[in-house]
Amino acid sequence: MSILEIFAVTISFYQLRAGENIIVTITGNNLDNVSSIVFPDNELILITIKQQDKTKIITEFQVLPEHPHQQLTEIILSTDKPYLLELSQAIEIIQRIVIPEFPEIEGFKEAVELILQGRHGQPEDFIYWLAQQKPHLLRVEDSDLLVELVNDGILFEHQKSGSQHCYRIMQDFGVAVCADAVGLGKTRLASAVAKLYQYNQGQVRIAIIAAKKLHSNWEREMRELGFRKGDYELYNKNLMSRKNSNFFDDFNRFGGAELVIIDEVHEGIRNYNNRIHKTCLRIRQQDIVDNRQRYYLLLTATPWNNRREDIYNILSPFLTRPEGFTDLGFPSELSHWFSNREIGVENFTDNTPIFRNVYRELFLQRTRKMLRDATPDLNLYAKRIAEWLPVEFETETETALEQIFTQFENSLFIPFADPIRYFTDTVEQRSLLRNQRRMFLQRAESSMYALRRTIKNFSDRIILLQRRLESVTANGEGLKQFLLLHYDFITENELNQDELEDNLLDFDNWEEGFEEDEGEEETDNNQEDSRQQLKTSINLVTHNLTDERAIDIYQRMLTDCDSDLEQLREIESLLKDEFITDHKREIVTAKVRELVKSGHKVLLISTFADTVIDYYRYMAQDTIDYYF
């Protein structure tokens, strides 16, 4: 007997209000053994069984006040084990709306009640009150240009309204932050802001600061909005973090741009000690000296990482019109907080009402769900569907991959990764080794191209380590020189390795495209401290090292090098045919080709940039457009 035949249930109420208790009757079959009823993963609805028999359960539903608006489609009835049932009709949880009295505004409450009932009556009093309280919200730039872009299918409606909103914020504060969720088209929205700014201001200089790898995407988006290359200038954001870079001088050439768009502003700028943040402060200080007014549009999907200080750090270099706070009735000291970090950070982050109001005024942050709920009758987005795509390899390939994911998971030593561990063997170092092994396996799982690059990189670095190790004597002093050389405390003088090193891939690039979600760059001082601690550790582990112990470490490193090289050669041998064909890539390409020909858009996403590049090159042989 199926689950649905055991519990064929109907529920008497399909709409519940947050903060209310209601008696709900559940009818069906075989209900007398039900001991508890809950909604999956929902602790905000408490269900108490009052009475029950075989065909009916009378319950009390208590919906806690903080329950958000939500559609519930499943319920769990438990006897000796839980049964998950899909409801024939979704239960809707509605947020209770409390309308304030505002007795000083005649007709306010009545007007709102009429609006909520769908009987719009005479809402003039309410609109008048809104205009009095928040007039800046109604000061939206009406633009036939943007309307035309929507009609031509270049902008979505939410991008049009978002660009108008950001333009208004920039006028008020000199800076606006678009923090829309991933996939809502922040780049297109920013291009629309630039178009609106150009349309209203005439001939203006526009600068876009973005990572070099994103420049082609920006060129494409700006072209869609009708910009030519000479209408704006792209700057490599990566240069802002490099010592002795000419970014500052280049950016301020001929006075610099009036409108500046900064992509992925959370990277580097929300960390006060980061060089990128300091470069932005330097630009701001020079603008104050030169009495130059700029407008900034900042883009990020992750404006803060559970630290309110992140918001202060993002805003402070770009708040070119702090008087905007005074204009909108904020406390007068708020402008001073953003011009004086010593007192500003603590005061701003500790004052919850001010923090929330500043965030609400300067940040535009929306999700796909918010837009869907706000415009339920508009079909703005294609539904995203994730599906499993089984990949069946040849028998030899399956065997090889099985061996890689079992045998090699624990047997690769990766000696070039932090070789000081051979002297100390700490928990942190063992964890680092496990992470690097895991990364190797992730590369193998990603693509044959990524795995082949990793094998080449590993092999080259192991060979380099071998040669450096063999150039020193197997004693404490020799191993000290080896470690100092490996960690770049001294330069290479003894070995002629220029040709080898020229061919080496940078170790950082073997995990190209892989970034920790919330990591921040180390500050210069922290890096220097870490380097000094490492050098001290090298001196400690090699000082008074016995010859016997030194020889043991020396031989173990060489043995591990030989072992890893042998295993890497074995992997290459096992997968030699797959490196040529890459069945996974062929199967994925065939599936994508099928979907695209059916009129679908397909997003291909990978942790590793080189996997995406390989797929792009392979699929570029087709005449079909793909999206990466």
Q: Which of 37-46, 77-86, 94-103, 468-477 has the lowest mean pLDDT?
A: 94-103
Residue 312's closest CA among 260, 238, 363, 242? 363
- The gap between the terminal CA atoms of the chain, to the nearest Å, is 47
Q: Any bridge partners for residue 23, and if so which? A: 60
Indicate whether 413 belongs to any domain.
yes
Q: Are residues 211 and 290 in the same domain?
A: yes
Indicate whether 598 belongs to any domain.
no
At residue 509 the predicted structure's pLDDT band, cuts being 50, 70 and 90, is: very low
The yes-or-no verdict on residue 522 having pLDDT over 50 is: no
Indicate whether 587 belongs to any domain.
no
Q: What is the pLDDT of residue 346?
A: 93
Indicate whether 586 belongs to any domain.
no
- Mean pLDDT for the stretch of residues 594-601: 79
At residue 603 the predicted structure's pLDDT band, cuts being 50, 70 and 90, is: confident
Q: Show Cβ contacts of residue 463 under 8 Å, excluding neighbours closer than 6 positions.
A: 500, 565
The yes-or-no verdict on residue 241 having pLDDT over 90 is: no
Q: How many CA atoms lie within 13 A of 354 on its CB side?
A: 20
Q: Are residues 341 and 487 in the same domain?
A: no
Q: pLDDT tens for residues 92-133?
A: 888 766 677 777 667 777 767 666 665 554 445 555 555 555
What residue type is 135 in one-letter code? P
Q: Are residues 235 and 331 in the same domain?
A: yes
Q: What is the CATH classification number for the domain harbouring 49?
A: 2.60.40.10
Q: Are residues 79 and 123 in the same domain?
A: no
Indicate whether 217 belongs to any domain.
yes
Q: What is the pLDDT of residue 135?
A: 59
Q: Are residues 79 and 144 in the same domain?
A: no
Q: Which of 231-240, 419-428, 512-521, 536-545 has the lowest mean pLDDT?
A: 512-521
At residue 270 the predicted structure's pLDDT band, cuts being 50, 70 and 90, is: confident
Q: Are residues 78 and 127 in the same domain?
A: no
Q: What is the pLDDT of residue 90?
A: 87
Which residue's entry shows tokens 């009475």? Answer: 51
More confident residue, 109 or 46: 46
Q: What is the pLDDT of residue 412?
A: 78
Mean pLDDT: which of 312-321, 400-409, 613-622 is highest?
A: 312-321
Q: Any bridge partners for residue 463, and if so which? A: none
Indicate whether 290 belongs to any domain.
yes
- Mean pLDDT estimate for the chain: 82
Q: Show Cβ contacts of residue 377 under 8 Å, excluding neighbours closer than 6 positions.
A: none
d(CA 131, CA 466): 75
> How much of the chain exceeds pLDDT 90, in percent?
37
Q: Are residues 331 and 402 in the same domain?
A: no
Q: Which of 12-16, 182-186, 305-309, 583-587 has the lowest mean pLDDT?
A: 12-16
d(CA 473, CA 465): 14
Q: Are residues 447 and 509 in the same domain?
A: yes
Indicate whether 347 belongs to any domain.
yes
How many distinct structural domains can be found in the chain?
A: 4
Q: What is the CATH classification number for the domain harbouring 209?
A: 3.40.50.10810
The yes-or-no verdict on residue 278 having pLDDT over 80 is: yes
More confident residue, 123 or 73: 73
At residue 501 the predicted structure's pLDDT band, cuts being 50, 70 and 90, is: very low
Helix pair angle (448-470, 427-446), 10° resolution? 140
The yes-or-no verdict on residue 365 having pLDDT over 70 is: yes
At residue 142 the predicted structure's pLDDT band, cuts being 50, 70 and 90, is: low
Q: Are residues 48 and 105 in the same domain?
A: no
Q: What is the pLDDT of residue 575?
A: 84
Q: The whole model's pTM is what?
A: 0.54
The yes-or-no verdict on residue 516 having pLDDT over 50 is: no
Q: Any bridge partners for residue 97, and if so which? A: none
Provide the 3-class DSSP secondary structure of residue 509: helix
Q: What are phi and psi of 16, to 5 degrees?
A: -125, 150
The yes-or-no verdict on residue 217 having pLDDT over 70 is: yes
More confident residue, 196 or 435: 196
Q: pLDDT tens for residues 374-431?
A: 766 665 555 666 777 777 777 777 777 777 777 666 777 888 888 998 988 665 556 6
More confident residue, 545 or 126: 545
Indicate whether 603 belongs to any domain.
no
The yes-or-no verdict on residue 225 having pLDDT over 50 is: yes
Q: What is the pLDDT of residue 118?
A: 57
Q: Show Cβ contacts of residue 443 under 8 Å, excluding neighbours closer than 6 positions.
A: 450, 451, 453, 454, 510, 511, 608
Last residue of a domain, one of 133, 149, 182: 133
- Mean pLDDT for the stretch of residues 132-146: 65
More confident residue, 309 or 18: 309
> How much of the chain exceeds pLDDT 70, in percent?
82
Q: Which of 30-39, 120-129, 266-275, 280-289 has the lowest mean pLDDT?
A: 120-129
What residue type is 627 in one-letter code? Y
Q: 553 is in which domain, residue-wise?
A: 395-580
Helix pair angle (609-619, 583-597), 10° resolution? 60
75 and 88 Cβ atoms separated by less than 8 Å:
no
Two tokens at 299? 């883009």
Q: What is the pLDDT of residue 524?
A: 55
Q: What is the pLDDT of residue 623?
A: 58
Q: Are residues 549 and 469 in the same domain?
A: yes
Q: Are residues 443 and 523 in the same domain?
A: yes
Q: What are phi and psi of 116, to 5 degrees?
A: -65, -30
Q: What is the pLDDT of residue 407?
A: 67
Q: Which of 13-22, 57-66, 400-409 has the lowest mean pLDDT?
A: 400-409
Q: Are residues 409 and 486 in the same domain?
A: yes
